[in-house]
Amino acid sequence: MKHALYIFLVLCSASLFAQTKTDKEPAPEKYLQISGVVLDDSLQPLPFVSIMLKGTRHGTVSDFYGFFTLVARPGDEMQFFSVNHKSKVYDLSDTLSGKHYSIIQILTKDTIQLPSVSVYPWPSKEQFKRAILNLDLSDSDIERAYKNMDNEDIRESIKGGSMDAASNYRVRMQQQYTRLYQAGQYPSVSLLNPVAWAQFIDAWRKGKLKIK
């Protein structure tokens, strides 16, 4: 009889202990899925905005279109940081009951007026004046030769010269492209091609179209 009473008291104590432990267990922590977009004063999306939860190391960065998504808890403070814009803080209410929320955060531009800076090429005005007076402005022989050449002579010398390897490659590739573009069809007529007309008029003026 004593043994049965002892077992009964042990079972009652274990039941009361388990019930007390269960009552003292904290409620599971609640998390929120926060999604939104960051805009500037002109309602244009702001990319690469840093978004942090104050007092933690958790955060994210908005994408190219200003969109972001972040997991937070009720009562957290979301901090927004962007270059050339003022920082903002968005408080999440601790009474939020849902799981998913969407927000729109607008950041204003932060304009900083810097003091003017005067830049001088020389430490003093006297040294600058001395350098200007001693400046040699005489042209070299090659510079005078270029100035004395007539523009028409330069154009004629360019026409008579041979093309380099890069120019020959571009002409060959253009011919190859034209041949592939016109494959299986009649070749295009150059009646509306201004380059072809310029070549025709130039050949006509130089008498290259005369019948020999």
Whether pLDDT at 2 is above 50 = no
Of the candidate ranges 74-78, 117-121, 124-128, 142-146, the one whose mean pLDDT is the lowest? 142-146
* Residue 52 resides in a domain: yes
* Residue 38 resides in a domain: yes
Q: Which of 131, 134, 114 is nearest to 122 (CA)?
A: 131
Is the four-CA dihedral 195, 200, 203, 206 of positive or negative sign? negative
d(CA 193, CA 187): 13
Burial of 69 (0-12, 13-18, 19+ CB in 10 A): middle
pLDDT for 21 equals 46
* Residue 189 resides in a domain: no
Residue 105's H or E segment, with its range, is: strand 100-106
Which CATH number do you get for residue 40? 2.60.40.1120
Q: What is the mean pLDDT of the chain?
A: 78
pLDDT tens-digit series, residues 78-120: 999 998 899 999 998 888 888 899 999 999 988 878 888 887 7
In 130-207, which ranges are E strands?
none
Q: Which of 62, 26, 60 is nearest to 47 (CA)?
A: 62
* Residue 128 resides in a domain: no
* Residue 57 resides in a domain: yes
pLDDT tens-digit series, residues 148-176: 676 666 667 666 667 778 888 888 888 88
Tally of structural domains, the chain = 1
* Residue 181 resides in a domain: no
Average pLDDT over residues 115-135: 82
Q: Which of 88, 85, 93 is nearest to 52 (CA)?
A: 88
- Lookup: tokens for 186: 């009649």
d(CA 42, CA 45): 9
* Residue 13 resides in a domain: no
* Residue 49 resides in a domain: yes
Which residues form the domain of 69? 32-106
| pTM of structure | 0.43
